[in-house]
Amino acid sequence: MKIETSVIWNNRSGGNTSWFHPRCCRLEGGKLFMSLQSIGGGDFYGPVHESIFDGARWSDPVEIPGLGWEKSVEDISEGVCDVVPYDHAPTGTVLAIGHNVYYRDGALFDSLGDWEERKGPVVCRFPVWSIRNRDGKWIKSRQKLLVPGMEECSMYSCGSSQWFFRGEDEVYIPLTFGFWNRTDRMVCSAKFRYDGENLEFTEKGNILELPVNRGLLEPSLLDCGDRVLLTIRAEDGCGYNAVSTDGLHWGGMTPWQFDTGEVLKMSSTQQHFLKCGGKIFLVYTRDTGYNSHVMRFRTPLFMAEITPDLELVKESETVVFPMIGEGTHAPGMGNFQCYALSEKEAVITVGEERGYDRFRGNTLMARITF
């Protein structure tokens, strides 16, 4: 396995734009599509943009119609963030799914009361989706993802989550959701029908929960054919996995651990899957013993092979993006995406999180070949 890293956009100097949430998928003709957005503060993002890779360079990002800011209520604006795009070969479209977010006075409006007592109007968080056709036109923009049974939720989301297509028209999406009378959030998955123009709910599975702080967040799925894997961000110092035979109904959760028996120590951060080179990997950040000064241990970014028993092979652990020391700080690598271009090649993309320097950071890509 070979890992080559590069800078797509540079903004350490602050003279350009700090592009965040970079996430890729294939386009017809060998090109790549990327969704991304600027970052200007903690959970404070600009309109969602797109960039195209023609085999030589990435195009200058341009705003995606309908995925910018809109007026919500009172002095609050509603934006979109955490978008993940995937290509649907049968229709030649890109389906992009994120969630809405609220801003007030140049900062995140904490609509859920996660960090402080919520003050202001009651507004709900929910997933939104858009469709780009093979001609590059956005034929559907900012549609609310309708999931029966979640009408009374304070929030439900699949932002930053891996999901997948199966067959000609099935889509499996993991969801995190919560209610106004509960602090913790739960996880389930749902199946939808997709025809290149519409995304319609068909079925929902059982619920997983862990009532510690905010509970279970940012779940991701991987289709392995005979079974589906789930990985979940949690707030008890671990990350969790679960297995399903149908992508909807899950057994119990197990903390991620190495084949040595050592449980991975995490602090409320994402994990994602990568299936490439005939193997399955988990990509993650963890407590290394030398990164305690980094928020939630969000650097370095690691990958390790997953065994059939869902343990990580300790000897296979590899650094994708190393920790870059900057005095008492280091850029975080916790908001990333993994995408297999072929059976032998994959990319991992991330925007540096440098809150200690006004969020001025680079957009990075790792190209992995087997």
Query: Is the residue at 78 inside a domain?
Result: no
Block mean pLDDT (10 aa), the chain, length 370: 98 97 96 98 97 97 98 96 98 98 95 84 96 97 96 96 98 97 96 98 98 98 98 98 98 98 98 98 98 97 98 98 96 98 98 98 98
CA–CA distance, 110 with 129 (Å, rounded to integer): 22
**In terms of residue numbers, what domain contains 295?**
1-18+257-370
Query: Is the residue at 48 inside a domain?
Result: no
Query: Is the residue at 360 inside a domain?
Result: yes
Q: Evaluate if pTM is beyond 0.85.
A: yes
Query: Is the residue at 309 inside a domain?
Result: yes
Query: Is the residue at 103 inside a domain?
Result: no
Specify the number of domains making up the chain: 1
Query: Is the residue at 33 inside a domain?
Result: no
Predicted local distance difference test score (pLDDT) of residue 55: 94
- What's the distance, CA 199 to chain centroid? 20
Write phi, then psi, for 357 (nearest 5 degrees).
-130, 50
Spatial contact of 97 and 143, defined as CB atoms under 8 Å apart: no
Query: Is the residue at 107 inside a domain?
Result: no
Strand-pair partners of 271: 284
Query: Is the residue at 104 inside a domain?
Result: no
